[in-house]
Structure 1
């Protein structure tokens, strides 16, 4: 029963996020590129969307989420095990930033935009899936090599 509640909560949160992206216009890559174009025709609306989101999230976080020692619908909080800055983190951040700057969309809004039928977003999504698959394959190959080296 707990897994069902967890999945339904996750589905609702994802739906709410996607709906917010579409309503705010942030699912439109042109709007995001307009925000990133600080030297040209800058569109500050993304800053207002982020500020509005923080105004809703921050009180909820400090009043409802932070005081809890355990999640409501999960066994434990899903937190990163490592807190060091390494080459994998930096290279991933650089690739993400370049992709966001070039395409004008990041993975969350891209998922929302699929329903809008923009062919560019579908190409972005397909490329993102290929990139995730290749990255997963490379990590598995690296881990396999490391485990073979340790057992030899």
Structure 2
């Protein structure tokens, strides 16, 4: 399979990740104690960071499809991808929330936290990888079993 994306696609993704990580580090959101203080209603700085991100992404999602008919680097058309709100979304969100509350960090900020020298966050990252692996394993087993039971009717 050939990759027909723009040659700057991967370097720009890398630069975007660096900017995102720098923003998390600069806003102190890569420090679990700051996030835990937010979750304990002691520090509301995270609200301003989230509102800032929501405003920027909201403007981008509203304007880009009007300015261009296709994404500049991938050539894909802009479209909404609606996914159903089902049991998997509910359970996954609950597990994500519990993990976020226990570790004080979400996956993106965990990598940025490594960049600011928080080596103990490796435990949270290991938990994220194990959880993702187990979910993928469980999901693949449930999709493998579904056609077999459907054919038994």
**Residues 127 and 2 of structure 1, relative CA distance in 2, 3 Å threshold:** same
Does structure 1 residue 18 correspond to structure 2 residue 21?
Answer: yes
Structure 1 residue runs of 5 or longer lacking an equivalent are none
1:146 aligns with 2:138: no
After TM superposition, give the deviation of residue 142 of structure 1 in Å.
1.2
2:62 & 2:80 partners in 1: Cα distance?
A: 21
The alpha-carbon deviation at position 53 of structure 1 amounts to 3.2
Shifted more, 72-81 versus 110-119: the winner is 72-81
TM-score under structure 2 normalisation? 0.82
Aligned length: 148
The yes-or-no answer on 1:72 pairing with 2:75 is no
2:115 alignment counterpart: 115
Structure 2 Cα separation of the partners of residues 80 and 98 of structure 1: 29
Q: How far did residue 143 of structure 1 move?
A: 1.4
- The answer as to 2:29 corresponding to 1:30 is no
Please give the alpha-carbon distance, in whole angstroms, between the structure 1 residues aligned to 2:95 and 2:54: 26
Q: Secondary structure at the match of 1:85?
A: coil
C-alpha change, 1:149 and 1:82, in structure 2 (3 Å) is farther
Provide the C-alpha distance between the structure 1 equivalents of 2:60 and 2:6, rounded to a whole number of angstroms. 24
> Match of 2:104?
104
Consecutive unaligned residues of structure 2, counting only runs of 5 or more, are none
TM-score normalised by the chain length of structure 1 = 0.83
1:59 Cα offset (Å) = 4.0
Please tell me the root mean square deviation across aligned C-alpha atoms, in Å.
2.4
Measured at CA, do residues 109 and 103 of structure 1 come closer, stay the same or move farther in structure 2, by a change above 3 Å? same
Alpha-carbon separation, structure 1, partners of 2:36 and 2:79: 31
Give the equivalent residue in structure 1 for 2:50.
50
